[in-house]
Amino acid sequence: MEINKLYSLPKLPYAFDALKPYISEEQLKLHYQKHHQAYVNGANAVLEKLDKARKDNTDLDMKATLKELSFHIGGYRLHNRFWENLAPAGKGGGGTPKGELAKAIDAEFGKFDRFKKEFSQTASSVEGSGWAVLTFCEKTQRPLILQLEKHNVNIIPGFAILMVLDVWEHAYYLDYKNDRAKFIESFWNIVNWDMVSNRFDLLKK
Ligand code: MN
């Protein structure tokens, strides 16, 4: 099998208008075609810059270059996960987690509503651009919430990313203007809990 040594935009698992009314067609298109694509392009540009410098045996500003690489690959991967953990409302989207994930969330947070509140507060309090992330520590077997700034700050290396919510303004501004809280509330109607639960089950194996 030939390995593609550059990144490419993954296919969306639903139509552009499938997440209405919580995310409009225009908002989803812009987010996916322009913003997600920009991280793909950004990551590839850095990889090509690295390739070229090695080929020409020239020096790079490693600090700046690798910071840029982390930012763009972080953005690329988080968006992949974001599209996957969404589904049309009532057709796979919304409701509450089931199975082992539901048990783990109850054990950690007491009940689902407490998790939902903490996750929403995490998303609403991101300073500037960033993400709320549900993650899992295999060592302690605890589901944990992270608040990522940009795409790559506050990451805990090795922690699996189960579910993400993008709260960059580009994720919601067309639909919600500056009302991030309303976008966060809408998010719960389109969470693909089956996908998040499957990911959790794979980790627990
Ligand atoms: Mn985004």
Asked if the model's pLDDT at residue 4 lies above 90, the reply is no
Q: Residue 168 pLDDT > 80, yes or no?
A: yes
Q: What is the DSSP letter of 18?
A: T
Return the pLDDT at 3: 80
Share above pLDDT 90 across residues of the chain, in percent, rounded to a whole number: 96
| Domain assignment of residue 146, yes or no | yes
The helix (H) or strand (E) run that includes residue 149 is strand 142-149
CB 145 within 8 A of CB 114: no
Cα(55) to centroid(ligand 1), Å: 33
Q: How far apart are CA 180 and CA 170, in angstroms?
A: 11
The pLDDT value recorded for residue 95 is 97
> Which of 173, 175, 125 has the alpha carbon at shortest distance from 149?
125
What CATH number is attached to the domain comprising 134? Answer: 3.55.40.20
- Of 73, 196, 183, nearest in space to 143 by CA: 196
Q: What is the mean pLDDT of residues 61-67?
A: 98
Instruction: State pTM to two decimals.
Output: 0.96
- How many angstroms does the Cα of residue 132 sit away from the middle of ligand 1? 12
CA of 46 to the centre of ligand 1 (A): 19
Domain count within the chain: 1
CB 168 within 8 A of CB 34: no
Q: Tell me, what's the pLDDT at 1?
A: 64
For residue 6, tell me if it sits in a domain.
Answer: no
Q: Check residue 11 and report its DSSP letter.
A: P
Q: How far does residue 86's CA lie from ligand 1's centre (Å)?
A: 13
The residues near 2 (Cβ < 8 Å, ≥ 6 apart) are none
Give Cα 45 distance to the centre of its chain: 22
For residue 170, give its domain range. 23-205
Distance 171 CA to ligand 1 centre (A): 5
Please indicate, yes or no, if residue 135 is contained in any of the structural domains. Answer: yes
Assigned domain for 1 exists: no
- Residue 154 pLDDT more than 70? yes
Stretch (H or E) spanning 165: strand 160-166
How far is the centre of ligand 1, averaged over its atoms, from the C-alpha of 23 (Å)? 13
Position 205 confidence tier, pLDDT thresholds 50, 70, 90: confident
**142 CA to middle of ligand 1, Å?**
27
Residues pairing with 93 in the sheet: 89
Percent of the chain past pLDDT 70, that is, above it, reads 100
Whether residue 93 is contained in a domain is answered as yes
Determine, yes or no, domain membership for 10: no
Q: Under DSSP, is residue 4 helix (H, G, I), strand (E, B) or coil? A: coil
Residue 16 belongs to a domain: no
pLDDT digits (tens, 9 = 90+) for 11-56: 999 999 999 999 999 999 999 999 999 999 999 999 999 999 999 9
Contact between 118 and 145 under an 8 Å Cβ cutoff? The reply is yes
Is 119 within the bounds of a domain? Answer: yes
User: What does the block give as tokens for 135?
Assistant: 């993650």
